[in-house]
Amino acid sequence: MANSKKPGGLREMLESMYSVIALLFILVACVELCDAAAAFDVYRLIQYDMSGSPFGSRFAALNHHAASLHFPPGVDLSRTVLIIPLRELNITFVREYINQKKPLGGLLVLLPEVLSFKTGGNNQVHEKEKMKNLLAELERLLIHSNIPYPVYFAFENDEIDTALADIKKNDLMGQPATATTGGYKFVIPTAEPKKVASPTMTNIQGWLSGLKTDGDANQLPTIAIVASYDTFGAAPALSVGSDSNGSGIVALLEISRLFSLLYSNPKTRGRYNLLFGLTSGGPYNYNGTQKWLRSFDQRLRESIDYAICLNSIGSWDNELWIHVSKPPENAYIKQIFEGLSNVAEELDLKVGLKHKKINISNPRVAWEHEQFSRLRVTAATLSELSVTPELLESTGGLFDTRQYVNETAIVRGVKLVAESLARHIYGHQGKNIQIFADESSLAVNPAYIRSWLDVLSQTPRVAPFLSKDDPFVMALKKELAGHVDEVNVQHETLEGIFTFYDSTSARLNIYQVASVTFDLLLLLVLGSYLIVLFSFLVITTRGLDDLISLFRRPPSRKLKTA
């Protein structure tokens, strides 16, 4: 009995060993460590369709060799990634490449590190204007082209600088990287970009009630202050829009804070309701504002005295513009303009009036106040921009970073709007009374503005990529709720002519690869080494005759037996 158990037990042990060995083989075959020389974040060019026409970069995955701008002329680049640092960027070169549809494996634009909101910090930008113009032009070119290869943006760092220097050296020697000559390989392993299904726009509104006395039968008049908070840019993961429209959001929050202080005490509460609106869908013809206004009760809409829209008030020196769509002779427009100019004079700055007629049949809405005017509500936009922006322009692009915004400008803008609003509400027009004087308890708080501006300058806010319960939108809602009586959030779908695709950022791996010819040569060398070793050992241990006899055929058996 003991004997029969033994072989059975042995067999079981062997079987378990086999399974362990099999598992080991599978495990070993699956081990694929990432051993890149360098890996860092890259941000993709936006991909969108407008009325069915494709724009932007249509691909995301990348697996090609890298070349710099010094590539030998006439070489085929359809399987190469071109790396261009911003300071060497020549717009005409890029425009020529894109417009003539020259084949390219991919494009990587290196932005100076100072523009990064993660590591750039608050360092000063050299040659601000030049960089701003270059970036604006590049962005305009890329957004309105259909590019059939991946385009990525990255910030310069030490690793990619050394890699680029190496690549340049190789290119100058006339050896562009291919599979047979080695070099650097750039790999971005990411899936195909998919459409963003039903992108949401979230409008946040805050309501501050005015003082209703018993004698008031009708509803109190309302004044609306609106700013759109979302952005659009060439690289959606980098579109922080500090000026367009981070400055507007910050100003709106500060104004709401000041008026909440005033309205908290019934003795100082004004006889106007205040409606604060943080709207989405700004770059897309203010679609969100339109939907928000359409959702209003008829009575509420009629009770709005006027609306002030804030758009880009962060980098101006001495002049602001008020854009209106009703003619300047209109009594209400005159009232608004006079109120603002009086305060402006005291604050030692200028405001100008710009009138642009609305064309009802044209779907293009360039300013937020136009959406109000289309519903017959008096409105004006306060902005530093004097020229009407084109579609998808001035919406928070690559150059719109923290360094280009001046918080003192925002402070002055807040003072201007708040004072003129207060004078209208409390009936102090024309009188020289400073309600929000400096050093008072109602002074504009620069620290509040600065901290919110810093937060906004680190949050990319492209609407299709903000989910319904995005933490930033919730934070805005919470902040506004702290200053007003009632907050409402409205979710709408971003329909219309725009369709967006996801995959806005990825991880780039740089590998330094050896060519196939190198490995073939290595095989040759090793083969000859082993052969030499073999012959050496045979000669030293068995003698030269043995070596020769290995190559001679053994004497035929037939001959022997014969």
Which residues form the interface with another protein (CB under 8 A)? Answer: 28, 31-37, 179, 182, 185, 187, 511-514, 516, 519, 522-523, 526, 530, 533-538, 541-542
Smallest separation, CB 12 to another protein (Å): 24
Phi-psi region of 186 (alpha: psi -120 to 50; beta: other; left: phi over 0): beta
Task: Count the neighbouring beta carbons within 10 Å of the beta carbon of residue 155.
Answer: 21
Smallest separation, CB 10 to another protein (Å): 20
In whole angstroms, how far apart are CA 345 and each of 291, 351, 412? 37, 9, 12
Comparing CB distances to another protein, the nearer of 24 and 191 is: 24
Comparing CB distances to another protein, the nearer of 203 and 509 is: 509
Comparing CB distances to another protein, the nearer of 185 and 291 is: 185
Gap between the Cα atoms of 405 and 456, Å rounded: 12
Gap between the Cα atoms of 82 and 552, Å rounded: 58
Comparing CB distances to another protein, the nearer of 179 and 433 is: 179
Q: Which helix (H) or strand (E) holds 264?
A: helix 248-264
Smallest separation, CB 523 to another protein (Å): 6
Judge contact between 315 and 406, C-beta under 8 A: yes
Smallest separation, CB 544 to another protein (Å): 13
Comparing CB distances to another protein, the nearer of 375 and 523 is: 523
Smallest separation, CB 524 to another protein (Å): 10
Judge contact between 265 and 257, C-beta under 8 A: no
Comparing CB distances to another protein, the nearer of 185 and 483 is: 185
Smallest separation, CB 448 to another protein (Å): 46
Phi, psi of 177 (to 5 degrees): -75, 125
Q: Which helix (H) or strand (E) holds 449?
A: helix 446-456
Comparing CB distances to another protein, the nearer of 361 and 540 is: 540
Smallest separation, CB 118 to another protein (Å): 26
Gap between the Cα atoms of 259 and 426, Å rounded: 12
Smallest separation, CB 33 to another protein (Å): 6
Judge contact between 400 and 326, C-beta under 8 A: no
Beta strands in 440-504 (DSSP E): 486-493, 498-500
Comparing CB distances to another protein, the nearer of 36 and 136 is: 36
Comparing CB distances to another protein, the nearer of 429 and 512 is: 512
In whole angstroms, how far apart are CA 389 and each of 312, 364, 368, 394, 494? 12, 11, 12, 6, 21
Smallest separation, CB 446 to another protein (Å): 47
Q: What tokens were used for 151? A: 């385009």
3-state DSSP helix/strand/coil % of the chain, to nearest 5: 40, 20, 40
Smallest separation, CB 178 to another protein (Å): 12
Comparing CB distances to another protein, the nearer of 488 and 512 is: 512
Smallest separation, CB 230 to another protein (Å): 39
Side chain identity at 365, as an amino acid letter? V
Comparing CB distances to another protein, the nearer of 99 and 549 is: 549
Side chain identity at 201, as an amino acid letter? M
Gap between the Cα atoms of 233 and 135, Å rounded: 11
Gap between the Cα atoms of 344 and 351, Å rounded: 7
User: 63: which residues sit within 8 A by CB, 6+ positions away?
Assistant: 185, 186, 187, 188, 189
**DSSP string of 498-528, one letter each residue:** EEEB---EEEEEEEEE--HHHHHHHHHHHHH
